[in-house]
Amino acid sequence: MTKPLLSALALLGALTLAACGDKEAACTDGDFQCDGDVLQECGSGGWEDVQDCSTDGMMCHAEMGHCMEMSDDSGGM
């Protein structure tokens, strides 16, 4: 192989690795998510634990940004 071709392949490999970086860590400040029963809020571009909902017998509700009581949704049967 020629030197320019090897350089191009090396550059392509480096760009591919850079594109596959850790995308889960990026977030928008003020957004919420649940990691299991743990409510997390985005701050300074990363996820921070806010509250472990399970310690209070509750469940995580990311859309509302808080823990909430578990519903007894048995469907009436």
pLDDT of residue 14: 52
Q: How far apart are CA 15 and CA 24, in angstroms?
A: 19
Q: How far apart are CA 47 and CA 63, in angstroms?
A: 15
CB 58 within 8 A of CB 70: yes
The overall average pLDDT reported for the chain is 79
**Percentage of the residues of the chain whose pLDDT score is greater than 70:** 61
Q: How far apart are CA 18 and CA 7, in angstroms?
A: 17
pLDDT of residue 35: 98
Does residue 51 carry a pLDDT above 60? Answer: yes
pLDDT of residue 70: 87
pLDDT of residue 60: 97
Query: What is the token pair recorded at 12?
Result: 């392509």
pLDDT of residue 71: 79
pLDDT of residue 34: 98
pLDDT of residue 42: 98
